[in-house]
Amino acid sequence: MTSVAWWILIVIGVLLVTSELLMAAFVMMWFGFGFVVAGIVTYCIPSINWGIQILIAALVGGMTLYLGRRYCIQPDNEENPDIYTFEGGLGELVIREASSHPLISVRCRGTYWSVANPEILQQYPQLKHGSQVQVTQIIDNKAVIAVL
């Protein structure tokens, strides 16, 4: 077999273009266009070698991918939006008694956080369940608290 039938190349191209609906990567469509162009060239020149057909499809697909994505995708599409990061604030100390030791957490801005520095209870014995504390920072998903 010296060449692939022109209609097979066009079918492959159409399948690649329609597969873009499922993938949404905005890549397959351009190579689908390349296969359609290779099918049209094969229709005009039926004796073309299959290696040349694949080369045409790859070159046209690569060029249209480069040019198409460059002009069809917004330039700011790759920028990451600023995400709100938790910086601390006023919190309420929550102490629950467990079997061997108390479970210490702090409720701040609607979220319960484990306390990163539970030794603060020994330093400040006035801290009880429900005491107001300041959450200064979050380290490894644990709140560092300070006495007001």
CB 135 within 8 A of CB 89: yes
pLDDT means per 10 residues, the chain with 148 residues, are 88 93 85 95 93 95 88 69 70 85 86 90 89 89 89
Report pLDDT for 82.
Answer: 62
Report pLDDT for 48.
Answer: 92
In angstroms, the CA 143 to CA 148 distance is 15
Q: Is the pTM of this model over 0.75?
A: no
CB 138 within 8 A of CB 144: yes
In angstroms, the CA 47 to CA 35 distance is 17
